[in-house]
Structure 1
């Protein structure tokens, strides 16, 4: 059976006439499969067993008339189009048959009309079926929606007339308000508003007037139940528009929000109390700091004055040093308390500027050398031969190093060693290691070593003293600098290494003695081939010229499509792609480029946020550069990846 063919049930007692009719249909381009019958029994059997598209029938057949065939077809559930094909059907009979349900008729003397009539009948039948299916779907949808609305337990759903009176009332509305449908139908929709309740002051009529066709109004207010109790409700009123844009009425959905409102009120009260307590704590810490520092000032000044006396006996000088050292410890504890309060409340501000990390480490190390020597601890630090410039708040950077070095000396026994080293773990990053041979850290304590007030086990905390804030502050300050403070220990008795890692603006390159127009000479080997994907013509032209001046061969693609064609046509050592392109983005180009060993992809974009950088590097770009581009930065990237 051909699924594209039209299946015809033909009631005809003359084989020749049947052949002529079918031939006429096929000559018109219709593919036809037919079943020919000439009696009632075969006709009924064919209707019951065959999936036909239409019926063609003669009007006069021996023992079986066309009128009988029409009546049988009309009673059949398939409701097929029925067309009379007869040579003796008069005008009067034709009109009568059409009234009884025939679709059309064609005289055998004019069979050239048959394909036209058949096509029209099939189109009309298809339209009827589509309309019936749509009506059935609408009916099913309305039934389902009605059942769904009625089944809602937490949402009161009602419909209002354009005048604002209640027209429908679901079961949840009865549960929520206590009124049956019979009690509220035809009543005004604002019958539940409390006259003096807080909430919208506008009347229902004013609220409905604010709604455009198809728009919604969301409000919260207090409503009244039948028994007189009230509840806090969320009310959504929506204008319902019918065919032609005419307003049919409104839907009104109400939900009891009393519990949520009470919880929100409690939460708000708790928040206000916490904020008030936090402000009180800040005031207390400020007053405490002042009151504690006031007596420490003269004590420290007197100790310094005594320290300047040349005739001070040795035993007294040791006492003076003890006083000075403990005043400094007390002052540091006060600073730590204030700093941790600022960090917790996100009130700590930094002033970032170029700072010599190596110089900061050297200064702090020199301060602690005397203390290390007094405790018979070897403090080893060899400054690098050149400055290590980072973007940092100089005072806070010194505070990080101070806290780490103080911690290392605190937990290292006499005869131990503390080593400081500056190194570059990877391009663009610089790190400071502070390693000691002290008591080490148990594995279970490593994950909470940077928690405020956490000093590991109670025995260690009692023996060593302190508040447990130094490492927490150092870690938070490292984060605020865009860096990371890490820790490693092999366990108790195995020492500890803290590593502060920061961004290295120099990109691990030594500072140049003098600015140069070009970072490298033109390569003598085969020049690296670069595909530059840039949709801005002026930018592409300028970059192509600059890169060519450095000895690179550069092809330009203005969009993703051209870039893909270029990548398919030849091998490029380097892809430099803009991220925003007319027909996609740089990630589409990168996926097609799929860099292999020896190939490098560089993202070029006007977006320099941290999230943009992470997205590009995660996708597979070797570097992320922002516009306007410093060509030296790009050349340095290419040199680092061997494309010089």
Structure 2
């Protein structure tokens, strides 16, 4: 049944309209309205499908009726049937939602039925479209497949809930930027997708890994199309989570690998004993461990590896520049050489050789797939070399002997049917243990030879140095007993005896000091000491020796140097030893310079001479006990070589440091002693005046979120900032940062860069995707051991406001934070 509300105050016109409508519509019900009260009641009931109204009404007009109807029933069609309207009225009515306008006249009345039918069809069409849209939207929302539309630069235009769930976001961020999509794809995958879209406009069923907002990787299947809409480049994408299938495939692969590994393990067991036996024979054949390690590398290729290289280190430096390497082909050897050099300069301290050297723990990678390597390192050159070698699996084991890390052995295979397993790792560790023992034995043997040589040289020098003053003592003593010397010669004899006796006393005192040091029996009488007084007393003691050789002693003693806690006698012994050495090794007419000055909280004594100098080969050993640059019988300068060893020990007992510098033989030497000054009120106020900006009062209310996977570094940063009054929340991973931001919004983020799973750059990209109220615009400082200019630019490009290299300078960290806080206030 069609129900029509007919509004007209002329009964004749209403009758004409009804007759006209009844001709077209059989099942028709017309409710007539002639006065305002009837209209109000009809609108209240609302039992009609369509409204036909006159324009000119005694109580109102058709426009008001139209607006009242649309206000209550916006989807109800309204037709104006009038002979009193104008074109302007018709236009205004159409703007207000009128469906049709029919003129009352004999020739136009027939249009009323057509207008009604057309309006009803439009209502039906709109309803169907709305229903279709609702069903489509419901289907889109219920799909478990992510659907999105984005611009070519990666700005997200629209998406369904499944897409947000897939990338790990609950809601779409309010503020979006370009490249919203790109961070979720692996770098190379995204570049390849865009390249293919530009070439052929579509990508079908590409499988790849996606990094969710929480940093976890999932496997997805991606299809994309590229179109132009209104002059804009548009990407329509479909992403399906296939992680379950991939995990099932991986489990099947792992099962096959385990079965293969079991077979390989059995085969490996047969080969291991003979290989270990031959390796032991080789390593024991010579004390030249470079040659024996080279033989070992050649032994394990190709039995255990397709490429093997060995690095021996001492004090974190390579012992051999010439590489110890073996490979199945010259091409792989050449690539491995480049890879080996790369390891030395690698920034990936948590990956590969550097990590094994740092931790002392072996690394076993059974499946060195692209996905694994990409997840472990951001170094594109490293990835390129591993792919060129066609690396399938590798092991890196440390060389450890007596708890000392001596280097590493890397075993690498490029054969698809060879995957290293725990049995292979056990074999590699056994080989490494034998190699480390061989290296250690060779070093111990060499050290024993050196120790024997040094002992023999020292005993020879000791004998010489003790006998030398005895000769004039005994000789002049015999002459004195003969009573044949006149008064002048007697005085000369006594002076000679006294001088040589004092020299012998000094030798004995040095020997006793060394004995006390070796037994840990040397003690200090500590009290506040003025270093200027100590230095002047030592200079006065050696002044006569300097004048005999016409050596000028120039001194500059800064009066602002504070006191130190120390033993005045032992400190004077330190300065006297260094001055005596300078005068001893400086030729006649030379010069010795003595400086005392403050360096921060340290007092520095610097003694420079124009004398013999120190060879660059001997410089690292200048403070060693019993070591002398020249121990030959033809040497020009006497002494036991104990003075500088005593100096180092006494300085270190006072909490200080001593170092030596020289450009080489004949170019003089400089000795530098640093001692901690006593912190006084004047010193503190002076330092505070220099770093006023570094300790602003605003730190009292500052909330700081700090993240570093290294506990010691994290504790240091926390201690520095809490010492300034800030409240610090310390966490050890990027995931904990995201969780903390979800709970509260701190004022500042201080983040390490080199962290496992998600580094500082990836973390900040995730943070910047958050809305401002959730910390998306939080100021951030990067702390990193990667201190190059490129690293600083990378940090700023990633969204950090500042970059501070490790080791951390507390004043720089605090000043940087203060500047960021002030900039935030100024904004």
TM-score range normalised by the length of the shorter chain: 0.3 to 0.5
Larger helix fraction of residues = 2
Normalising by structure 2, we get a TM-score of 0.30
